[in-house]
Structure 1
C-alpha cells in the first residue's frame, strides 16, 4: 500500500467498476465531474497501458465549506477514485485515506465525513458485488 491510499479489489473489470461507482455516486446526489481514461489517452499517444480510469467526483455543497476553511484543500478536491487493471481478476480500486488528508491539512474530525465519501461509495459497490455472487 502506498502511504495515504486505501485499495480494494473489485470482482468487475475497470469499465464495469467505474460505471457502478458512478451510478452509486449520482444516486447519492454527488456530481461526477469527469472520468479520466488514462489508458485511452496512452493509446492516443501510441503507448500501451493497462485499463486505468479516475473518477473525479464530489459535492460542491459539502466541499466548498471545507475549501473556504482550508483553501489548500482544493488541491485534493474534488475527490478522486482510481480504478485500474493489475493483471489479476477484476480490478483494483484506490482512493486517499480521509485521515491522511485530514492530518496533512490539520482538519478537525467532523470534516472526515466529506472526505470519506469514496470509502462509502466503494463499500456500497463492492458490497453489492458480494451479494450478487
Structure 2
C-alpha cells in the first residue's frame, strides 16, 4: 500500500466515513472483508448482538476507561434507506494513554480515541473488531512508545475477549 493510499484511508477513518464502509461491508461478507483488511483484529462473540454491546460497554466501565459515544451505524443506514445488518461503533479511551501516541505523532489522533466495531454477519454471527495497535504504531512511525503500544493492545484484547466465552 502506498503512502498516498494509507493517508487517504486514515483521512477517511478520521472524518467518520464509517457509515459508507459499513454499507459496503453489508454487501460483502464481513468475515471475508475483515480477513483482507490490513491491521484489523477480529474475534467472534459468544453472545447476541445487543448482549455483546452491553457486555463490552460494561467491561470498558469496569476498567475505568472513559466511554465517549456509541454510533448506531445500522440506524444511520436505515435513515438513509440502506439496509445494514446490526453494526455499532463504540468509541472510548484513556486520555493519558492516548495522548502518549499523539505526543509521538499528532496524526495518530486519527486513530484515537479507540474504536471497537460490533457487527453481525448474514449468518447471525456477531463479530468484534478493532485496529491492531502495532499496525497503528507502524502507520504513524511511532517507535518511542513500546510500553504504551503493548498496554493499549492488551487492554483492547481484554475488552474484545470479554465476549468470547460464556
Flag whether TM exceeds 0.5 (same fold).
yes
More strand per residue: 1 or 2? 1
Q: Deviations over 1:21-41 (max 9, x none)?
A: 110011101111011100011
| Paired residues of 2:41 and 2:129 also in contact (CA < 8 A) | yes
2:129 matches 1:94 = yes
TM-score w.r.t. length of structure 2: 0.71
- Provide closer, same or farther for how the CA distance between residues 89 and 45 of structure 1 changes in structure 2, counting only shifts above 3 A: closer
Matched, 1:124 2:159: no
The whole-number CA distance in structure 2 between the counterparts of 1:5 and 1:41 is 23
- Which range moved further: 39-48 or 109-118? 109-118
> 1:1-133 alignment to 2 at 5 Å?
1=35, 2-108=37-143, 109-116=146-153, 117-126=155-164, 130=165, 132=166
Deviations 1:62-98 (A, max 9, x none): 1122212210110000011011010234401111111
RMSD, aligned CA: 1.4
Describe the SS at the equivalent of 1:125.
coil
Give the TM-score normalised by structure 1.
0.88
